[in-house]
Structure 1
Amino acid sequence: MARMIFVNLPVSSLPASMAFYEALGFSNNPQFTDETAACMVWSEAIYVMLLTHDKWRTFTDRPIPPPTSSEVSLALALDNREAVDAMIEAAAAHGGTADINPVQELGFMYGRDLADPDGHIWGPFWMDMAAVPAA
């Protein structure tokens, strides 16, 4: 089996979260989706499992953090700066919060951060590997 990552996220509204992630460019895999969870596909190796709070609690007894906390920030590499800006705009238009942190403009790298409707942080970024400064 290929190495893959499944990011599990507790969500307060499964339909709203599915719509949000679809607006960002994820697709739904109905094979692993029901009324308690949705499998949202970013690539052949990256999947986001959106879990209702009740479903989440079957995995752990640890409390679900409030939307104002940050337990992890997930970065997504995109093809260009325009794609970064488009994802941020889509997030803001579909219930998320754009630019929760300062924009990163390093010349060779450009990144912006967003929060989904439940406060999970994503950092779409673009990087020109040929322009990365030598160490």
Structure 2
Amino acid sequence: MFTHCHTTFRTKDVYFLFDNKDFMNRHIFIAMCPKCKQIFTKLVETRKADNKRFEKTLIGNKAEKMLNSLRNEVDIKQSDLVQKRAKMHEQKGIVYGENIEYKCGDVARYAHSFINNKRKLVGIDPQ
């Protein structure tokens, strides 16, 4: 949570950074003030030597410079994780199953939804 212009607002995105030789558990929280539209960044990292946590908050041009300098250290973004999670659960609603037996004796199982989504179920032994 950030506070600026007498307003408290949430982070827009979180970047997870690779660990380097001195720090671990590195994150950058990114937000924008809804009133003045300035960019805020907060770098949070833990020093490996003594597990001490450091936080550094920057505003405006300094925040943009920090984002540009750490761009090649980004492991994954929180927004990318949300998109991947949504793709994993594409089939929603009522689903029915279908077994298809081939001439060779193999059986394939499929899950169908009523909006023509079809997904093969792997690793299920028919019994």
Q: TM-score scaled to structure 1, two decimals?
A: 0.24
TM-score (norm 2): 0.25
Q: Select the structure that is richer in helix.
A: 1
Question: Who wins on radius of gyration, i.e. which is larger?
Answer: 2
**Higher strand content, 1 or 2:** 2
